[in-house]
């Protein structure tokens, strides 16, 4: 069982326009709404592939009601923690060719009691689970240490913790020694404090984090695939997608694929291959639609290999 915690879930509204021009009125050619937030997307991706998962989230307001209804419709088991605020709505504007502009709300103000209840519900759900995954930004009112606290508390229950976040909560969580982190290229550069133009720079930065106490670092690199680094090995792979439709949620699908494979006893190379397959399949789908087994068919992933250190990343 993989438990996900999404402290700041969202309704993801995706609209497609011919061309985005600042200051202009745009006519939408297609639109959709999906339950969102990074942990929720991880649970959606796992559930879509028959995985055993439970999403823990704060729920408030009319938007929160719609969010849980959409999760029910998608067959995603969830544990709701009632809050006084209202779930946020994030907008993604997609242009033909896949360029995506995102506008994310900050999220509802949470009280200290609501934050405590959310963490307690997550730890309660995590008892007996193999993995607990903390993902995404934190809403106003949540302490920067929320994911670090999750790492420490889940570890004392014997549960492995994966973290996918950004900004100040990420270094705080890293200092607590999680089992896995999944930064993208930009997040990793911010974490180590310098630019990482080549694949070799990414591997060196990931090794630095492993030496500092993170068991496994999986770095997603968009069209350049993903690289996985632990104390014993490093591997890299990628998939070619001719016509990407929307990259929203691709990193979440990658993480779901990696965890699903590790959870079912697969090797690191298999986990990375599955993750890249799920992430690449996600970019072939509109909005933050999640790949089904049928969407994975036909996605060719290169055999994992030692990274080409000199490769200049896109």
Residue ranges binding ligand FBP (CB under 6 A): 8, 10, 12, 36-38, 41, 90, 102, 104, 136-137, 247-252, 288
* End-to-end Cα, the chain, rounded Å: 35
**Which of ligand FBP, ligand ADP, none lies near 225, with the C-beta cut-off 5 to 8 A by kind?**
ligand ADP
- Per-residue binding string, ligand ADP, 141-180, x by CB under 6 A, is ----------------------------------------
- Kindly give, in sequence order, each residue whose CB lies less than 8 Å from that of residue 137, ignoring residues fewer than 6 positions away: 7, 8, 104, 107, 165, 166, 167, 169
Q: Which stretch binds ligand ADP (CB under 6 A): 16-24, 121-129, 134-142, 247-255?
A: 247-255
**226 binds ligand ADP per the rule CB under 6 A:** yes
Annotated catalytic residue: which of 252, 270, 295, 308? 252
d(CA 306, CA 289): 32
CA distances (Å), origin 253, targets 38, 45, 225: 9, 6, 13
- Chain position whose Cβ is nearest to ligand ADP: 251
Residue 37 interacts with, from ligand FBP, ligand ADP, none (CB under 5-8 Å by kind) = ligand FBP
Report in angstroms how near the CB of residue 231 gets to ligand FBP at its nearest: 27
Closest CA to 35 of 7, 3, 13, 67: 67
Query: Reduced to 3 DSSP states, what percent helix, strand and coil does the chain have, rounded to the nearest 5?
Result: 35, 25, 40
Contact between residue 248 and residue 288 where contact means Cβ atoms under 8 Å apart:
yes
| Residue nearest ligand FBP, Cβ-based | 36
Please give the structure tokens belonging to residue 176. 């607590």
Report the distance separating Cα 104 and Cα 181, nearest Å: 22
Q: Which does 222 bind (CB under 5 to 8 A by kind): ligand FBP, ligand ADP, none?
A: ligand ADP
Q: Contact residues for ligand ADP (CB under 6 A)?
A: 184, 220-223, 225-226, 239, 241, 244, 247, 250-251, 254, 276, 279-280, 283
């Amino acid at each position: 069982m993989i438990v996900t915690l999404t402290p700041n879930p969202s309704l993801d509204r995706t609209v497609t326009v011919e061309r985005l021009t600042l200051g202009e009125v745009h006519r939408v050619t297609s639109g959709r709404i999906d339950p969102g937030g990074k942990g929720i997307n991880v649970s959606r991706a796992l559930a879509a592939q028959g995985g055993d998962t439970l999403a823990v989230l704060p729920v408030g307001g009319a938007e929160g009601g719609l969010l849980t209804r959409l999760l029910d419709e998608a067959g995603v088991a969830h544990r709701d923690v009632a809050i006084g605020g209202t779930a946020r709505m994030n907008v993604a504007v997609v242009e033909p060719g896949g360029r995506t502009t995102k506008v994310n709300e900050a999220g509802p103000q949470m009280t200290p009691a609501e934050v405590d209840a959310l963490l307690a519900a997550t730890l309660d759900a995590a008892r007996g689970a193999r993995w607990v995954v903390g993902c995404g930004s934190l809403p106003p009112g949540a302490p920067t240490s929320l994911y670090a606290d999750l790492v420490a508390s889940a570890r004392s229950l014997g549960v492995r913790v994966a973290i996918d976040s950004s900004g100040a909560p990420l270094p705080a969580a890293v200092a607590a020694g999680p089992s896995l982190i999944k930064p993208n290229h930009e997040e990793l550069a911010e974490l180590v404090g310098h630019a990482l133009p080549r694949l070799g720079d990414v591997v060196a930065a990931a090794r630095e984090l492993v030496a500092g106490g993170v068991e496994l670092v999986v770095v997603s690199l968009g069209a350049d695939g993903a690289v996985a680094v632990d104390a014993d090995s490093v591997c890299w792979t990628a998939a070619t997608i001719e016509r990407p439709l929307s990259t929203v949620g691709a990193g979440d699908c990658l993480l779901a694929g990696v965890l699903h494979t590790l959870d079912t006893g697969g090797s690191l190379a298999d986990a990375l291959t599955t993750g890249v397959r799920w992430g690449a399949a996600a970019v072939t789908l509109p909005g933050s639609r999640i790949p089904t087994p049928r969407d994975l068919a036909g996605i060719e992933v290169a055999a994992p290999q030692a990274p080409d250190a000199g490769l200049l990343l896109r």
